[in-house]
Amino acid sequence: MNRYVFGPVSSRRLGKSLGIDLLPYKTCSYNCVYCECGATTDLTITRQDFFPLKDILAELDRVLVKKPNLDYITFAGSGEPTLSRLLGPVIRHLKEHYPWYHVAVLTNGTLCMLPEVRSDLLPADLIIPTIPASDQAMQDRIFRPYHNISVSSIKSGLVALRKEFSGQLWAEVFLVPGINTGKDELIHSRETIISIRPDLIQLNSLDRPGTEPWVCPVQRLELIQIRDFFAETGIPTDIAGFGQRGGFFSHTHEHLVIS
Ligand code: SF4
């Protein structure tokens, strides 16, 4: 039984995807109301190794030596992948020994203000960060972050990442009906996205029970209207799992979803 590697799973966004989980459950800099993995038990911004690098690489090698047919190897799982200091070493190992695989990182973006985190991410092929809320009050309401993470620092980190990262950057907007689907909030999100200049905007919404029972999915018609509003930026805009049963997933849930 594997401890760090899961799947491959069939992911609508990433095709056939092998997951890597570098974190103990549930370690995150956010405690999102919509998190489908449950409440964050270790709310932190402290980067750690968490597990021995040699154990992770040995397990990865055992799986990859069989040369599985994959579209992506994806860092996701039990929390925020950039909290692991081993993210960079594991990505570099993959790129050195298995350069034919594409590497994706699903992140909440909160630590991208740190140069060392951006440096860890640079060898990846695809980064999917979650866009922060329009202001601190909304941020605290939806994402319930570690106490000293500011919206402005997250935005600056993502803008800096875009400048340094030449791979694919897809901006995820997680929509919670009645909370961040109003006109003002959408305008702010769109402005944030324009400043980051992603290659793709991905709208996401609840697909299975979140941490808070009052969170519900956005209705199809409203999703289409919101998609059209974001598409006015000229940036391709997609709805995650659109038209499919069980197709949504946010950056931690790839291992739980067969889309
Ligand atoms: S959805 Fe992602 S960022 Fe939010 S609490 Fe869950 S693991 Fe953390």
> Is the CB of 131 inside a 6 Å radius of any atom of ligand 1?
no
Residue type, position 1, single letter: M
188 CA to centre of ligand 1 in angstroms: 21
How many CB atoms are closer than 10 A to CB 247?
17
Q: Is residue 228 situated within a structural domain?
A: yes
Structural domain including 54 reads: 5-239
> Is the CB of 257 inside a 6 Å radius of any atom of ligand 1?
no
Best CA proximity match to 169, nearest among 243, 83, 239, 106:
106
Q: What pLDDT does residue 57 have?
A: 98
CB 37 within 8 A of CB 6: no
Q: Is residue 256 situated within a structural domain?
A: no
Residue type, position 219, single letter: Q
CB 112 within 8 A of CB 160: yes
| Residue 130 Cα: closest atom of ligand 1 | 3
66 CA to centre of ligand 1 in angstroms: 31
As a whole number of angstroms, the distance between CA 142 and CA 137 comes to 9
> Is the CB of 110 inside a 6 Å radius of any atom of ligand 1?
no
- Report helix, strand and coil shares of the chain as percent, to nearest 5: 30, 20, 50
Q: What is the CATH number of the domain that holds 35?
A: 3.20.20.70
Q: Is residue 247 situated within a structural domain?
A: no
> Is the CB of 174 inside a 6 Å radius of any atom of ligand 1?
no
Q: Is residue 250 situated within a structural domain?
A: no
Q: pTM here?
A: 0.93
Q: Which residue minimizes the CA distance to atom 1 of ligand 1?
A: 35
Q: Is residue 139 situated within a structural domain?
A: yes
Q: Is residue 68 situated within a structural domain?
A: yes
> Is the CB of 252 inside a 6 Å radius of any atom of ligand 1?
yes
> Is the CB of 113 inside a 6 Å radius of any atom of ligand 1?
no
108 CA to centre of ligand 1 in angstroms: 7
60 CA to centre of ligand 1 in angstroms: 24
Using omega within 30 degrees of 0 as the cis cutoff, is the peptide bond preceding 66 cis?
Answer: no
Q: What pLDDT does residue 245 have?
A: 33
Q: Is residue 254 situated within a structural domain?
A: no
Classify residue 122 by burial, with Cβ atoms within 10 Å: 0-12, 13-18, 19+. Answer: middle
Q: Is residue 257 situated within a structural domain?
A: no
Domain total for the chain? 1
| Residue 251 Cα: closest atom of ligand 1 | 2
65 CA to centre of ligand 1 in angstroms: 31
112 CA to centre of ligand 1 in angstroms: 15
> Is the CB of 80 inside a 6 Å radius of any atom of ligand 1?
yes
**Phi/psi at 15 (5° precision):** 70, -135
- CA distances 252 to 38, 90, 125, 150, 227, Å, are 11, 18, 18, 21, 23
Q: What pLDDT does residue 246 have?
A: 35
> Which is it for strands 200-205 and 42-43: parallel, antiparallel or unpaired?
unpaired
As a whole number of angstroms, the distance between CA 17 and CA 67 comes to 13
> Is the CB of 251 inside a 6 Å radius of any atom of ligand 1?
yes
Tens digits of pLDDT across the chain (259 residues): 899 999 999 887 789 999 999 999 999 999 999 998 899 999 999 999 999 999 999 999 999 999 999 999 999 989 999 999 999 999 999 999 999 999 999 999 999 999 999 999 999 999 999 999 989 999 999 999 998 799 999 999 999 999 999 999 999 999 999 999 999 999 999 999 999 999 999 999 998 888 999 999 999 999 999 999 999 999 999 998 764 433 333 444 443 332 2
Best CA proximity match to 193, nearest among 259, 119, 185:
185
Q: What pLDDT does residue 11 have?
A: 83
Q: What pLDDT does residue 101 have?
A: 98
